[in-house]
Amino acid sequence: MKKVKDFLWHKNLSVEELVDSFNSLGFQAVELAEAAKIILSMKKNNAKIFLTFTSNMVSSGLRGFFAQLCKLKIPNILVTTSGSIEEDIIKSFGGEFEISNFNVDDNMLHEKGENRIGNLIIHTTEYMKFEDEIIKILSEIYKKKQRLSSSELIYEIGLMLKDDNSVLYQAAKNNIPIYCPGIADSSFGFQLYMFQQKNKDFLVDTIKDMERITTDLSFDEKKGLISLGGSISKHYAIFAALLSGGFDYAVYMTTSHASSGSMSGATTQEAKSWGKLKDDSQAATVIGDVSITFPLMMTSVLEKMEKENLL
């Protein structure tokens, strides 16, 4: 049986060494170290990797890191929520989000036209700029094609952004599809509705993506999942994999707990009961704030990949 070892700092300690030491530290540190090993195994075994995340992560500074991972071709498929799309676009046009705190006076913020996401602030004026820009973008796309799947629409938008720190741009540039099954649920979704009112033949077909994502996976290939948070983005990926035998590798990172019975809190073990993960899959569930756990774990993985010439 593995023994607990004391963590000791030393000069020039790398992130790779730090996360490796977590393997004998105990508690969630062990799960995080295991998650890093699993993701490295995904890459070494040429697994098709899904990266799923919710919009609050694009609100944060993780947005640029997701874009960088796409540039490095770490994930093969992205699944996210609609808020991620609009906030990536907002930031691509120079929009800036501010850091405040969790206990600010929200009535005061509302009066000032400021909107809070945890301890982050987005000014209403950023959404006004977004509305102006997205209408221009949709008008250009409409000239070429009137009916698109969600992923096709997001791809076309990504090509138009020209921002190296944009998830949409880097995904489009590197032919990484972005699936957004809940595309109507945001200001972006409302703008699609408004555009359709003026252009009745304009249609975003979300069901077409279900065909694409399921037929793009096979029983023969290895499949891996990195799920950050939960909700519809997590379930869309694991349901797609279920139809082709389930994931061979899975890492869940979330603040939710299994006791709620929610998709966000569902563990990798629970997924095996549905066949969403294979019985012999390598899997880890890390409980903690993704803004801390993911960059820490993923930096460790990238350092190992660089050392082993996998980048």
| Distance between CA atoms of residues 165 and 90, nearest Å | 12
Q: Which residues are catalytic?
A: 276
Residue with tokens 């509305």: 131
23-63 tens-digit pLDDT: 999 999 999 999 999 999 999 999 999 999 999 999 999 99
- The pLDDT of residue 220 is above 90: no
**DSSP-based helix, strand, coil % in the chain, nearest 5:** 50, 15, 30
* pLDDT of res. 100: 96
DSSP state of 244: T
Structural domains for the chain: 1-44 (no CATH), 45-216 (3.40.910.10)
147-174 tens-digit pLDDT: 999 999 999 999 999 899 999 999 999 9
| Distance between CA atoms of residues 256 and 181, nearest Å | 21
243-283 tens-digit pLDDT: 899 999 999 999 988 887 888 888 888 888 899 899 999 99
* pLDDT of res. 216: 83
* pLDDT of res. 173: 98
| Closest C-alpha among 284, 278, 287 to residue 301 | 284
Q: Side by side, which strands form the sheet with 114-117?
A: 98-99, 120-123, 114-117
- Reading the block at residue 281, the tokens are 């899959």
201-210 tens-digit pLDDT: 999 999 999 9
